[in-house]
Each structure stands twice: as C-alpha cells, then as structure tokens.
Structure 1
Amino acid sequence: MFSLAASLCTAISSFNNQTDQIALFAFKNSITEDPLGALSSWNNSVNVCQWSGVQCGNRHQRVVELDLRFQRLAGSISPSIGNLSFLRSIYLQDNRFRAFGSLSKLTSLSLFSNNLHGTIPTSFGNLSLLERLSLGTNNLEGTIPESIGHLTNLQYLGIGVNEISGTVPPSLDNISTLTDLVIPSNQLTGSLPPDIGFTLSSLRIISTGGNQFTGRFPTSFSNASGMRILDLSESGLFGPIPVDIGRRMTDLRWLNFGDNNLGTGVAGDTSFVDSLTNCTSLQILGLYSNGFGGVLPNSFKNLSTQLRLLEAGGNQFVGNIPAGLSNFVNLVDLGLEQNFLSGSIPFSIGKLQKLQELSLGRNRLSGSIPESISNLTQLFPLNLEDNNLTGSFPQSLEYIRGLQIFNLSHNNLAGPVPKTIAFFSSLSSINLAHNSFNGSLPLEIGTLNNLEELDISNNDLSGEVPSTLGSCLRLEHLLLGSNLFHGSIPSSFGALKGLVDMDLSHNNLSGTIPADLETLPFLEKLNLSFNNLEGNVPTKGAFTNTSVISIVGNRNLCGGVPELHLPTCAIQESNKNNRLGSKVIIIIVTLGVCLVVILLFVAIYWKRKPRKVSSPSPLREGFFRVSYDELLKATGGFSSTNLLGAGSFGSVYKGMLHKDDKPVAVKVFNLDKLGASKSFIAECETLRRMRHRNLLKIITACSSINFEGSDFKALVFKFMPNGNLESWLHPSEDTTMKLNLTQRLNIAIDVVSALEYLHHHCETPIVHCDLKPSNVLLDEDMIAHVGDFGLAKFLTINLSNPINRQTNSIAIKGSIGYVAPEYGMGASASKQGDIYSGILLLEILIGKRPTDEIFKDGLSLHSFCKMALPDRVMEIADSCLLIPEDNLNDQTNRNRNAEIEECMKIKMRECLISLVRIGVACSTEAPSERMGLSEVVMELNAIKQVFLGGGIHGERRIRIQLASQGTSNNV
C-alpha cells in the first residue's frame, strides 16, 4: 500500500508538472523574437524545472518563479501563465512584450521595461497575495484601477514612465502596507491626497515627478517618519512647504522639490530648511526652479555632511554664496545658476574636492575667479557664464585636466588666451564669448581633439585664424565672429566634416573663400559677412542654399549661384595677354628641355656613384624627412633599454628626436621576415590617408639603408606614455595597474570611434583586420589610439554586387583568437570582420584573453559570456571592476554609506550586462548576424551617458530606473 501511495503521489506530481510544462509551451509559442536564445532549453528532452529562467519548489516540483529579465524577448504574454497555479514571482523586465493576459496567485509581478500596451487590467485587484507590482517603462494608458486598492498586502507599486492618466484613486488609502509608491512620468492629474502621509504612514519612497498634478503641497508628509526618498519634482504643486517637513524624517536620503511653484519670491520661502538639519543622512537636495526668494538660509551649513547633490538654480535667491557650503566635503554637484546672487565666488569653494559639476552662471557675481578652484580636479562641467567676473583667464584651471565643458561667456574677463589651454585634452565645449580677451588665438588650440564647440565671438582677439583648428575633427560649432582676425580663411577647415555652424563675420579677413568649404556635408549656417573677402564664391554644397550662407559686406566677391545676385567674375582674354602667354609657354618649354638634359647627366652620375644613405618619406607630402642615422641616435643605437615591445614584423623603441624634443616611438621592421616589407608599404599607404583622434598619430617614416648596406624601414609615431591595453588588462604580478569600469568604457568608445571613422569617413573605406589589446595604445590622458595597420585593407564597392570587396590581394592574416572566423575559410576582408572585434570588448570587461586555457572543448570567450547573461555577468567580470570607482586604492573609503554603494553596484551591473550583450552581439560566428557599427557607437555612448550621467536630471533618470525595478532600499 505504501508503495502504491508513493507511486500515486509521483504520478500526480508528474501530471501537475506536465500542466506547468504545457502552460510554458503556450507562453513560448506566443514569443515572436528570442535573439539571445533564452528559451532554447524549453523542450521535451529537459525537465521543466531545468529550463532556463524557471525555478521550481523543492517539495512539489512545481514552477514557482519565472525570471526572463533582459532577454530582448518580443511578442505577447500568453494568458496560459495563469495556469501556473504555484507561480509566486514573474520577472520579465527589459523585454519587448506587447500585451499580457490574466495572471493569478502571484506575490511578485515585474513587467518593467517591455513594450506593453493597453490598460492595467482591473483583474489585478484579485491578486490578493501580491506584494510587488512593477509595470514601469511601458506604453500603458488609461487610469489606475480602483481595484488596486484591494491589494491589501501590496508593498511596492511601480507604474512610472507610461501614459497613465486620471487621478490617484482614493482606494490606495486602503493599502496600509504600501511602502513604495513610484508613479513618475505619466499624465496623472488632480491633486495628491492631502492625508496621504497619515493614511499611508509606512511610506518609505514616493516618486511622483513628471505628472500634471495641481493643488497644494500635502502637509501630511510631515507625518511619514520612515520616508527615505521623497521626490515630488515636476508635479505642479503650490507652496508653502511645511516648516517641520524634516522634523520626523530622520532617515531621509533623497528630497527633490524641483520644478514646482513652491516659492513666492520673498524671504521665508525656505524656512523649512531648518527642519532638514534633523535629516542626518540626507544626500540629495533638489530645490531648483521654484521661485524661492530671499537669501540662502544660514541653516544650509548645518545640513548633513553626506550631501552629494545640491541643486537650487532657477530661483530668486539674493545675497552672497554662503561660505558654509564648504562643509559639504562629499558634494559632487552644486547648482546655483539663474538666481540673483552677488559678491564674489568664495575662496573656500576649493575645499569641495569631490565636486564634479559646478554651475554658478546667470547671477550677478563679481570679482575674479579664485585660484582655489584649481583644487576641484574632478570637475568636468564648469559654468560661470553671464556674471560680472573680472580678471584674466584663470591659469590655475590647467590642473583640472578632465574638464569637458568650460563656459565663461558674458563676463568682463580680459587678457590673452594662454597656450596652456592645450592641457585640457578632454574639452568638448569652450565658450569665452562676450568678454574682452585679446591677443592671438594660440595655435595649440588645434590639439583639442575632443572639441565639439568653440565660441570666442565678441572679443578683441587678433592675428590670423589658426589653421590648426582643422585638426579638431569633431568640431560642430565654430564661432569666431566680431573679433579683429585678419588674413585668409584656412583651407584646413575643409577637413571639419562634422561642422554644422561656422561664424567668421565682422572681422578683417581677406583672400578668397576656400573651395573646400563646399565639401562640408552637414553645414547648416555659414556667416562670412562684413570682412574683406574677394574672388569667386563657391557654387556647391552649402553655397547652393542662400538661406544657409551670409556673405554681405564683402564688396569684392563675385560669381556664386544666381540667387546671390553677385556680379560675374571678369575673364581676361585680351590679345596682349594671349601673346604674353605664348611667350611664357615658349620660355617654359625651353627651360624644361634644358632641365631634362641636366637630369640625365645627374642620373648617370648617381648610377655610377656608390649608394649613400637617403631618407625619403614614403608618406609623401606633409611629413618631414628623417634619416637612419637620426633614428639610430634617437634610440641609443636601438638599445634594448629603449625597447618597448616586439611584434610580428619588427620591434618598437622609445626615442627622442631633437626636432621638437618630444619622445617618439620608432617601429623598426625586420625585413628578413616574409611580408614585413609589404606590411611597411601597406601601413604607410593607410596612415597617410587617415586623420582621427583615436588613431595612432604618425610623425614620419624612413626608407633608407643602414650602415651595413641593407635596407632599413621604420615608422615614427607619437609616444604613448601609458603603453598598450594589453599591459593594463593583463598586468604582471608586481604592478598595480588597474582599469576601472569608466576607463574601460571610454577605451571601448575610443576604439569603436576609430573603427567608425575607418569604415565610414575615409575617402576609401579601410578595415583594420588585426584589432587586439596590444594594438590599442593609451596616451597620458588614457585616451585610446588604434595602431598597427600592417594588415589593413582598402575596400571598394562592386556596383554589380554592392558588398565590400578588398582591393589588396595580400592573404588575410590576423592574430589567433581575434581574427574573424570567416577569414579562416578564405573570406575577403570586410567591415563585418572588424566588427568581430566585439571579442576585444569582452576581453576588456572579463579580463580573459580569447586564447585563455579555460576556453577549450568548444567553449569560447563568446559562448562563455553569452551563457553568463544576464544573471552571472558580475561573477565573470574582471575583479578590478568591483572596486569602488571613486578611488581604486583608497581602502579607507570602504565605510561609505551601504545603500549608496549598493545603488552603484546595481548601476554597474546593468551597465556590464548591456556592454557584454554588445560584445556578444558583435562576435557571433555568422557575419550577417553581427551588430551594426553605427548601432554599437550609439549604444556605447548611451550606456556612458546613463552610467556617468551628472546633474539632477541624470540622477533623476537613474532614480526612476532603479525605483521602477523595485530597488526600494537603494537611493
């Protein structure tokens, strides 16, 4: 009987297990896209409890959890899920589902970040056991059902970033267990329940930003003593704020009242700040755009020293900036812009050494910029525009090497722009407009390879416009108007292919308009008016659209398109000139014959004379010549002490050329190796056609004879003081070289940017064919430069079969582990082959070479990473990435607030998952399935923006994402 009972129980369990299997098969059949193969294990040959993303209970072997997060699944969610009678949790966030059916018996339902449409089913009110409901970041519409109020066990409700309208239903007052209410970025109207702080006294998180509420600020919030995050930004609320708002919120971490109507513009608006001194854990304080008036209260200096972000811009504050703000030594973001603040910038601001963003623009500040600002070495935007600041260009800024946005416009600054501006290699925007800067614009400004915007208009700058600006290939806005520049417009501006807006008006420029400006494909505005330009106006490109260009005030211009109504350019055709031209031709021909005879004698002489060392540059025009003897001396006789490394075709030495007394790297080719000479020629041919900040800069080349009479070939590059990426990813045991995630992300973007340039912005597309860590060099600012073009190929387009074809017949080679698999089967070089370098991205993140000994028996770096997605990514990531970002070696920083650290870990995890996905998508075996390069560039920059997003707006986006995913315990 016992045996029969056991068999019967097994049969019943098997039957019920089979019921779950049928339900999941129905779910699988409703999926239309599964790009990562998340459901590949869902078949009859495997027990349902062993399917990917499925978890069963130990006792009944029934499905209790379904976790398919971040799998890029698309389709609808089958109602058959409702037949999983033991299901307790379902996690489907970050997919692309379009609809869902009836679900039951759940305690946790997470459908965050899908493509869900329709309304929130009223039947959700029947899920009486539900504790967490996350529907954020979808396309849901309609109202919040009253039936949600029946979920008396609900703790977390997240429906942010949808199209939900209507009011907050009064039935929510019934959910006394609710701790997290996350409803931002919808179209909710009406007012917040005035008694919400009493009826929902357990609230820890409330986020309502980005809705269309009206009404007064609920005074009942003062009763919510357990509040940790209170975000009412952009909620249409009116003040005043209760003066005791923070009296009981002793655990408050995040307080954001930004972009409401809580102030009246008079003193007393911010009297509530006094009560915030009880919030000893406060880290985020947003008061921006409210119309608060009066002086900044003295009680500010008594707020928590853990404060990381203080945004109070867009108000009507008057008086001085309180010196007590220097107490906030952990402050990362300080925004006081768009107020009526006066006085000078406090010298004590230099104590905020963790500050990354400083915005004091659009006030009435005076005096000079304090020297102490040089202590803020982590700043990347510095906005001091539209004040009354005086003095000269602050020399102390040269210590802030990571500065990216620099705005001093609309002040009273004077003096020259120093050459040290070249120190800011990360600058993307410089705005010095509407000051009194004088002197010439230094040539060194052309070294700012990241520069996207330069506005120095309305100053007293003179001299010639630096032709070196043509090296700033990322420039989009070049505004030099209303100065005293003279000379001609540099023809090098034709290299600025990304230029959108150029203003050279109201100067003293002369000469002709360079025809190269016709080739600028994105130019939308060109202002050359009120100069002394002359000659023919180009007729192509932007010059065909008279609404784009302005050339008035140049009396000697002619030609151009008819719409410009300029006079026709005169053509000299007189007989006198013709006769004179004939005489000139006769003279030239006579001299030419004489020159040919002389050259013949010289050639015979040199043929008989013993060969001497010569050093023509195979790179041709634009590169100075260097001899074998000079390179021998520069490298100490190619001494082993100067040896930087060795490769397939030669060795690289560090040297010092006396031409400019700067270190260089000399790549000497070993011509005894088969293919070395062809590699030298291929690399010369490739390098002379390229110009990009993320490509290794070639200085010159030498093709000569050594002292033994043998051929000698070498390339001379800019020296990269931080070596190659290989030495950082796989350092020796006796070094402390480590790369954090931010640095690795920047390096990946640099490499991809270089590839995008080679593939899409060269006159003839180029494929590298040998991307690996040793070919990625790092300069003094850890900016990556791709080098070694010995295997590079030029591509042409076959019109009858428009796919990439190589024009070079040299056999495809590459490095084992990095070379695209199709090359091993005889395929031609292609852009898709370079995209396979996603394997390099995986190595950057994982810290393992594709040739590592663990990759055998069919396991590769690609499959290793693919199997880890998404849950095990943190397990396989390079251990260096798990060290806190702010200071890799600071062991005393381990006692940081646990919740903030947890928040950063979540942020890092999501970033790593996204990056590993890109690496996997780029390194698939089939070339046609690899991710497009343009998409890779866009995705990487988007990841960087989210991971490094500064300011209140970047923080807000991260907050919404985290809160909507249910990270209610994290700030």
Structure 2
Amino acid sequence: MAFSAVLCPGFVWFLYLFTFLCSLPLAICNETENDRQALLCFKSRFSGPAGVLASWSNTSLEVCDWHGITCSTVSPHRVIELHLESEGISGPIAPCLANLTSLARLHLSNNSFNGGIPSELGLLSQLHDLNLSMNTLEGNIPPSLGSSRSLTYVDLGVNALTGVIPESLANSSSLQVLWLMSNRLSGKLPKALFNTSSLLDISLQKNNLVGSIPVVTATSPPIQYLDLRYNHISGKIPSSLGNLSSLIELRLTENNLVGRIPDSLGHISTLEILTLNVNNLSGTVPPSLFNMSSLTFLGVANNSLVGRLPSNIGYTLPRIQALVLSTNMFDGPIPASLPKAYNLRQLYLYNNSLTGLIPFFGSLPNLEELDLSYNKLEAGNWEFVSSLTNCTRLTMLMLVGNNLQGEMPSSIGNLSDSLEWLWLRENQISGPIPPEIGNLKSLSRLYMDYNLITGNIPPTIGNLHSLVHLSFAQNRLSGQIPDTIGNLVQLKSLKLDRNNISGRIPESIGRCTQLQILNLAHNSLDGNIPSEIFKISSLSEELDLSHNYLSGGVPVEVGNLINVNKISISDNRLSGNIPSTLGQCVVLEYLDISHNNLSGKIPQFLTSLSSLQNLNLSFNNFDGAVPTGGIFYNASGVSIEGNDDLCTSIPTGGIPLCSTLVEKKGKQNSSALVLRIAVPTVAVVILILSCLATIYWRKRMQENPHLQEFDEHMKKISYEDIVRSTNRFSPANLIGSGSFGVVYKGSLKLQKDQVAIKIFNLNNYGANRSFIAECEALRNVRHRNLVKIITSCSSVDSTGADFKALVFQYMPNGNLEMWLHPEDLEHGERHILTLRQRINIGLDVAFALDYLHNQCASPLIHCDLKPSNILLDLDMVAYVTDFGLSRFVFTASNAYKDSSTSLACLKGSIGYIPPGEIKHILSMLDCWFSLFFTELYNYCRFPNCVCKCKCRVWHERRDINQG
C-alpha cells in the first residue's frame, strides 16, 4: 500500500504527458484541416477561368502547395497569405475566410469580386495587409476593420463602396496606409484622419466627400501623402495644414475650395508636390510658394488668382519640373529668369493675360511640354523658335490665341524630332507655310487655322507620315491641294475650309483610309468629286465640300460611307440624280445638297433613314411628288424650296398639290393634237413677223442714232451668282447705298469687266415698286449717256425671302457727288474738275434728258436728277442712272399704259425736283435742273445754292405756276 501510494502521483503525471504528446498531432492536424475547409468554402462561392485554381482540387497536394497560398515556415504550417490578384475571379467574398485565423496578408485585387465586404474580416487578429482594390464591391466599409490592432495597410480603392468613412478606421492606432480612392463614399472627412499618430498615406480621391478640411490640432502628424482630389470639399484651406511638417505630396485638385492660398503651405520644407487646380481660389499666390526649394510640381490652374509672376522665379524654384498656372488672371510678362529653372519639363501658362515677347526657352534641355496659349504674347522676329531647337525633348508646343504676327521662320523645321503637337491657330500669322515643316516627322497634330497665311500648301506636308489631325482652315491659302496629301495615311481629320484653294480635289486623298473628318468647304475647287473620297468608309463625323465649283454627278460610291453623320455638298454645280446608294448611309444625321443643279425625283429611301434630322434639298431642279413619311414628317428639318416642279399630296404652304399638276398635264395632253397643227403655223407667222420687225428696227436705228443695241440677250443670273460676285456681300465690295438698297462692286462670268450690282432692300416701303419702275424704264430706253443695264436677278435668298437686284456697267470714277463734295466722304480728298470737264458733263446730262423727253417712244421723266445719280466712266463721260422714281408721260399715242405710271404722287430729292404745288406734270419738268448746274459750276450744295440763285429760282417757279 505504501509503495502504491508513492508511485501514484508520478504515474498520474506520466499519464498527463503521454496524453498531451498523443493529442498534439491531432490538434495540428485539426488546424490545418480548418484552413483547408475555410479555403474550400471560399472557393465554392466564386467562379474563375478554368485551371486557375486546379491545384485546390488536387487531394494529393497539401494546402501550402495550393496556388496563391503561402504558409508559415514553422510548425504548425498555417496559411498566412492568400494572394489571388488578377486571376479573373468573380463572385462574393465568403465570410468563412475569417476561419483563417493566422492570415496576415489578404490580396484579392483586380478581379470581379462583388457584394459586400464581410464584417468577419475584422476578426482576423493577425491581419496587417488587406488589398481588395479594383473589384466591384458594394455597400459600406465594415467598422470592424478598425478594431484590428495589427492592420497597417488597407486598400479598398476602385470599387463601388458607399456610405461614410468609419470613425473606427480613422482612429486606428496601427493603420499607416489608407487607400479608398475611386469609390462612392460620401459624408464628411473624419477629424481623426488629420490628427492621427500612425497614418502616413491617405488617398481619398474620386469620391463624393463633402464638408471642409478638418483643422489639424496635433503637433506634427506623420502624414506624408494626402490626396483629396475630385471630391466636393468646400470652404477654405485651413492654415493649420502647415502643421503637417512631414508632408511630401498635397493634392486638392477639383474641389470647391475658396479663399486665399494659406502662406503656411509655403513653409512645409519637405513638400514636393502641391496641386490646387480647378477650385475657386482667389487673391495672389503667397510669395512663400514661389520660394520653395523642395517643390518639383506646382499646380494652381483653373482658379481666379491674380498678380504677376515673380521676376526671380527661375532661381527660387530650382527643382521645379512642372509649373501649371493656366486659366487664371496672371498678367505682365513671362519672367526672363524662368528659363533658368533648368529642371523644368512642363510649363503651362495658357489662358491668362500675359504680355510681351515670348522668352528664349532654349536653355531648358529637359523641356517636353510648353503651352502659352490664349494670352497676349508676341513673336517679335520669331527668334524664340530658333532657341527652342535646343529643346531636343520637346513634344508639345502650343501658342494658340496670342498676338503672333509676321512670317514663320524656316527654323521651325529644326524643332525637336520628338515634337508631336504644334498648335499655332488663332493668331495673325502671315506669309507662306515654310516647306521645312515637313522635317517634323513625329508630328501627330498640326493646327495653323484662323490666321492670315498665304501661298500654297507645301508638298513637303506629305512627309509627315505620323500626322493624325491637320487644319489649315480660315486662312488665305491658294493654289492646289498637293497630291502628297495622300501620303498621310494616319490622318483622321483634314480641314482646309475657308481658303482660296483652287483646282481639283486630288484622288490621292482616297489613300487616307482612316479619315473621319474631311472639310474642304468655301474654296474654289472645281471638277468632279473623286469617287475615291467616297470609298473612305472610315468617314464618320463629317464630309463637307460645300461652297465650291464642283461639277458632275454625285458618285454612286457615296454608299460606302456607312458610318458618316454629316454630308454637305451644297452650293456647287452638281447635276444628275441622287444616287440610290445614298440609302446605305444608315446613320446619316445631316444631309445638305442644296443650291446645285440636281434633278429627277426625290428618292423614297430618304424616308427610311431613321437617323436623319436635317435634310436640305432646296434650289435644285427636282420634280414630282415630295415623299411622305420619315424625315418629311418633320417640317422644320426639311428644306425643299426653290424646286419649282415639286408637288405634294398633302396641302403645304408654297408647294402645289400634285392633283393640280395632273389636271394641267391632262389638259396639255388633250390639246396635243391642236398643238401639232398650230405650232408649225405659228412658227411660220413668227418668222414673217421677225423679218418685218428686223426691217423696222434697222430703219428706226438709222433714224435715231442714239438708240443702242444690246450685243447679246439679257441673261438672268441667280442669287448664288450675286453672292459669289460680291464675295458674299463683303464690306470691301460695298460702293454705295441709297433709300431702297445698296450697291456692290463685283464680277460675273458672263461679263469680262467689273460690274455694279444694285441690291434692293425689299423691307423698305416702295423698294419693290422702285425695282419694277427701274426695269420698265431701262427696258425702253437706250442712249450713250444713260447707264447700261447688263442683267437682273429676281429670286429668293438663302432664307427663302424675296431677292431683287440689277446689274449695271461699273463706273470707275464714281458719281459726280464724290467730285463735288468730297468732304462728306471719309478721308475724302477734293477732286478738281476742269471747266472743260464740267461743260462736257453738263452737255452729257442735257443730251440724256433730251432723249428721255423727246426721242423715246414713250417720253420719260427722271424725277430725281442730282449729282449722286450722275456716274462718270474712265474718260469722265457722264451717265444718268437711278430710274427708280421715273415716270412715263401719257400722250395720245400711249394713253393705254397702266395708270400706275401716274405722276399724282411725285417723289424725289429735295431741291432737285419742281415745287410741290405742281399737280400736272409735263415732260419739261426735268428741265428743272438749274440747281444741278449751279452745283456743278459753283461746288455748292442745296440749300446753300438757293441763296446764290434765289432770284432765278423764283422766276422759274413763277413761270411754271402761270404756264
């Protein structure tokens, strides 16, 4: 018993040790099995590409050998890292991952995990790295994540998370990196974030955060990187941000910040990057910001900052690599010291009010991007371009919208071989395009539009094989489009519109198979449209060939433009029918083929183009019925005026019903037999009458030597001809104006000499009657001292309003008014008329009046004889003009004429017509031009002349009243 009592305690301890040693493998086995089951549970919830996790299904492999799994090196070999980045996995994150109790790193980024973040992940006490970025996770951020005392790195960026930033996460004592960018987080910024003792990197950009930036109350928090860009943060920038003495990067771009930039930011000695772009900041930039030797990137663009740039800025920012000051209100010159900032790579000063000459930036060997657009800078002698040739890394040069004048130097071709963007548009550059431009082989964008550039497009432009966008629009270029343009096979946009380019469109453009925009409008191009253009199926945005002199038909290849949105070939000389292949342009939204000579029926397929919103077929020769349906239901989207032979089955203003035309056609068919008999008979009668009329005309011409004969029949011209001849009613062509309209100088194709075009303002009362009266008068009179009418125009303008004009021979010496009273003209100089010239002018006027009163078949009274209505040709021969107020006098032989020619309401210019009491006018009334002669010989104007000739006027008035 004693022996047993002694051995019993030792035996018990032995049993305990034996039991522990036996159960230890079982415990280790259970932990490993738990990890396996947790991973298999996690895998069961998602799907992925075949074979990605094949090892997880291999029962012969240990968990530690599975793909993406890392285990601890000491026993027990627990799972400490799950790394499945960019595996193409989709599905929810299973909460059973929380059973991996030894997990230290969980990286599942760049997949398609969805649903919420399991709150159970906050139970992983060993977890210090959590990366779930670039997925489609939703919901709130679990507050439980902030309870982990080991968590140092959290990246939940680029998801769809909502809600607020948990206070527990902001208060974490272990967290060093917090990346929540590109989500949908809202609410205010937690104050704890800016007063933490552990956080080094905070990235919250691209969310919906609101409120103000919290005040920093802690002493020197360790924050090094703070990114709050692209939120809705408002208020002022707190000066307490200057307490972040370890800050390296501060990014506050695109918020709603207001007020001044605090001076304290300029005292953060470690700060390298500061971006405050796109806010509502105002005032001047603190001098301390321009005096930070550590700064490499300073961006304050798109604010309302004012003031001048410091003259020593190039010395006080020695490390600066990017200086972005665009879209503010900075003024004054660009400091001459700025090119001394030798590390500068990017300089953006566009959209300010900077003045003076562009400095020489050739001392910046690392300069890559230079944008000085939209200022008031000048080029001087363009030497700054020569200095830029030293900037061998330059890829972008933008000088848009300045006061650059003069000719571009040939040294522009010596710029960097790396130059990709060259923008010189919206300046006043003149002269030709240097051929050396073809040396810039890396150019992808070349814009020189909206300048005063002249000359031809150099053929060397074809050397720019990398060119994607080219625009020389709105210049004064002439000559032809070089064939080498077809070498630009990468071209997507070609704009040469609004120049004076002539000749044919080169077929080589068809080789530019990536073109999306082609605009050659408002030039003088002629010939047929090359079919090769319509084979560029990539044309998707715009094809504009309008306002040229193109002829021929619309090529059937137009059907290849299946992606085009806009086609404009208006204001040309195209003829033929609309090709049926146009119906293949199924995404067409805008089609303008107006002001051509196209004919035939309006195609029915236009009604099936469902995308079509604007259709202009006006001023062609289309006939037949207007289609119904589709675009034609939208009256505001369709223009068909100026096609006289169109009809409609639905009553529409201005277009006749087709039934009316059918009735007329039926009557014509029923009369066909009568016409077959009548036409030959009428033709013989007309021939006989023509012979008699010719004999009578020749006899009359012999009797009356003053009657002139037209060299050719009057040929009416169109409104488009008037537009072209006056250079689109250019003020430079305007030579006079009157009560009923204006007079332009121009040239017509049917007339080799220049002409004067009188355009009537039909909005003025009496203008239409004046046009009719002048036509009636000039049709019946011919005399060497009466201005000769060449032709007329009675049409409608581009808005559909009535348009009337008369075309006369041009008188280079103007009117007599200009010679007698030059003081009334701007910068007028007195022209001296000799006595002989004045006598001859008086005789010429007298001969004209004698003809009008005594030799016309129907005597004509001018009614408005004054110096401004007396024109002088190159030899100073006088011509009477302006018959808008003239009237025929009834005699026994012409009493049948319309009563509208009555003189009951006499009008004219005061001082140059007889006294108003006269009720019955005789042909002698135009002899009332004693004032005209007094003005001619004394250089005096009515009423001043009245004082000089009052006695004579009184006697003449008395004689007329008595007689």
Q: Give the direction of change, closer, same or farther, for the CA distance of 1:171–1:255 in structure 2 (3 Å limit).
A: closer
Match of 1:290 in 2: 303
Match of 1:11 in 2: 26
Match of 2:542 in 1: 525
Match of 1:424 in 2: 440
Q: Does 1:509 align with 2:525?
A: yes
Contact 1:542 1:548 in 2 (8 A): no
Aligned equivalent of 1:167, options 178, 181, 188 = 188
Q: Does 1:551 align with 2:565?
A: no
After superposition, the CA RMSD in angstroms is 2.6
Q: Distance in 2 between matches of 1:254 and 1:544?
A: 49
Letter in structure 2 aligned against 1:535 = G
Contact 2:543 2:568 in 1 (8 A): yes
Q: How does 1:846-861 map to 2 (within 5 A)?
A: none
Q: How does 1:685-724 map to 2 (within 5 A)?
A: none
Q: Distance in 2 between matches of 1:175 and 1:223?
A: 13
TM-score after normalising by structure 2 = 0.56
Letter in structure 2 aligned against 1:494 = G
Aligned equivalent of 1:567, options 574, 584, 597 = 597
Report SS of the residue matched to 2:98: helix
Contact 2:175 2:198 in 1 (8 A): yes
Contact 1:309 1:331 in 2 (8 A): yes
Q: How does 1:355-366 map to 2 (within 5 A)?
A: 355-366=367-378
What are the superposed Cα offsets for residues 496-530 of structure 1, whole Å, 9 maximum, x if unpaired?
A: 23222111112111101122222232332122122
Q: Give the direction of change, closer, same or farther, for the CA distance of 1:299–1:27 in structure 2 (3 Å limit).
A: farther
Q: Distance in 2 between matches of 1:447 and 1:122?
A: 62
Q: Distance in 2 between matches of 1:408 and 1:372?
A: 17
Shift of 1:83: 0.8
Q: Give the direction of change, closer, same or farther, for the CA distance of 1:569–1:427 in structure 2 (3 Å limit).
A: same
Q: Distance in 2 between matches of 1:51 and 1:197?
A: 49
Q: Distance in 2 between matches of 1:204 and 1:334?
A: 26
Match of 1:896 in 2: none
Report SS of the residue matched to 1:342: strand
Q: Give the direction of change, closer, same or farther, for the CA distance of 1:480–1:276 in structure 2 (3 Å limit).
A: closer
Letter in structure 2 aligned against 1:242 = P
Q: Distance in 1 between matches of 2:311 and 2:71?
A: 59
Q: Distance in 1 between matches of 2:565 and 2:317?
A: 55
Aligned equivalent of 2:251, options 220, 225, 231 = 231
Match of 2:472 in 1: 456
Contact 1:23 1:80 in 2 (8 A): yes
Mean CA deviation greater in 21-30 or 130-139: 21-30
Q: Distance in 1 between matches of 2:575 and 2:498?
A: 20
Match of 2:333 in 1: 320
Q: Give the direction of change, closer, same or farther, for the CA distance of 1:466–1:275 in structure 2 (3 Å limit).
A: closer
Q: Does 1:109 align with 2:130?
A: yes
Shift of 1:375: 0.9
Match of 2:174 in 1: 153
Decide which structure has the larger Cα Rg and report it: 2
Contact 2:540 2:561 in 1 (8 A): no
Q: Give the direction of change, closer, same or farther, for the CA distance of 1:525–1:411 in structure 2 (3 Å limit).
A: same
Match of 1:77 in 2: 93
Report SS of the residue matched to 2:144: helix
Q: How does 1:248-397 map to 2 (within 5 A)?
A: 249-264=268-283, 269-271=284-286, 273-275=287-289, 277=291, 279-298=292-311, 300-347=313-360, 349-368=361-380, 369=382, 370=384, 371-397=386-412
Identical positions, percent: 34
Shift of 1:431: 0.2
Q: Does 1:208 align with 2:228?
A: yes
Q: Distance in 2 between matches of 1:229 and 1:125?
A: 25
Q: Distance in 1 between matches of 2:551 and 2:454?
A: 27
Aligned equivalent of 2:197, options 176, 183, 188 = 176
Q: How does 1:663-812 map to 2 (within 5 A)?
A: none
Contact 1:430 1:453 in 2 (8 A): yes
Q: Distance in 1 between matches of 2:372 and 2:18?
A: 81
Letter in structure 1 aligned against 2:85 = R
Shift of 1:560: 2.9
What are the superposed Cα offsets for residues 43-80 of structure 1, whole Å, 9 maximum, x if unpaired?
A: 33222223232222223321222222233332221111
Q: Distance in 2 between matches of 1:294 and 1:394?
A: 33
Q: Does 1:477 align with 2:493?
A: yes
Shift of 1:140: 1.2
Letter in structure 1 aligned against 2:288 = D
Report SS of the residue matched to 2:280: coil
Q: Distance in 2 between matches of 1:211 and 1:28?
A: 37
Letter in structure 1 aligned against 2:91 = G
Match of 1:606 in 2: none
Q: Does 1:402 align with 2:432?
A: no
Aligned equivalent of 1:242, options 239, 255, 262 = 262
Contact 1:197 1:222 in 2 (8 A): no
Q: Give the direction of change, closer, same or farther, for the CA distance of 1:397–1:377 in structure 2 (3 Å limit).
A: farther
What are the superposed Cα offsets for residues 220-249 of structure 1, whole Å, 9 maximum, x if unpaired?
A: 1011100011111112111211113221x2
Contact 1:35 1:72 in 2 (8 A): no
Match of 1:217 in 2: 237
Contact 1:543 1:561 in 2 (8 A): no
Letter in structure 1 aligned against 2:180 = I
Report SS of the residue matched to 2:298: strand
Report SS of the residue matched to 2:64: helix
Shift of 1:23: 1.1
Q: Distance in 1 between matches of 2:465 and 2:30?
A: 67
Match of 2:144 in 1: 123
Letter in structure 2 aligned against 1:49 = C
Shift of 1:200: 7.4
Q: Does 1:488 align with 2:504?
A: yes
Mean CA deviation greater in 109-118 or 334-343: 109-118
Shift of 1:3: 8.1
Letter in structure 2 aligned against 1:532 = Y
Letter in structure 1 aligned against 2:403 = N
What number of residue pairs does the alignment pair up?
A: 562
Q: Distance in 2 between matches of 1:501 and 1:567?
A: 26
Report SS of the residue matched to 2:428: coil
Contact 2:319 2:341 in 1 (8 A): yes
Report SS of the residue matched to 1:292: strand
Letter in structure 1 aligned against 2:364 = L
Q: Give the direction of change, closer, same or farther, for the CA distance of 1:291–1:38 in structure 2 (3 Å limit).
A: farther
Shift of 1:29: 2.1
What are the superposed Cα offsets for residues 118-154 of structure 1, whole Å, 9 maximum, x if unpaired?
A: 2212322332321121111111122222332342221
Match of 2:635 in 1: none
Contact 1:337 1:360 in 2 (8 A): yes
Q: Distance in 2 between matches of 1:398 and 1:6?
A: 86
Q: Give the direction of change, closer, same or farther, for the CA distance of 1:396–1:86 in structure 2 (3 Å limit).
A: same
Report SS of the residue matched to 2:356: coil
Match of 1:29 in 2: 44
Q: Distance in 2 between matches of 1:183 and 1:459?
A: 48
Match of 1:441 in 2: 457
Q: Show structure 1 runs of 5+ residues with no match.
A: 571-971
Q: Give the direction of change, closer, same or farther, for the CA distance of 1:308–1:233 in structure 2 (3 Å limit).
A: same
Report SS of the residue matched to 2:113: strand
Q: Give the direction of change, closer, same or farther, for the CA distance of 1:43–1:77 in structure 2 (3 Å limit).
A: farther
Q: Does 1:141 align with 2:159?
A: no
Letter in structure 2 aligned against 1:321 = I
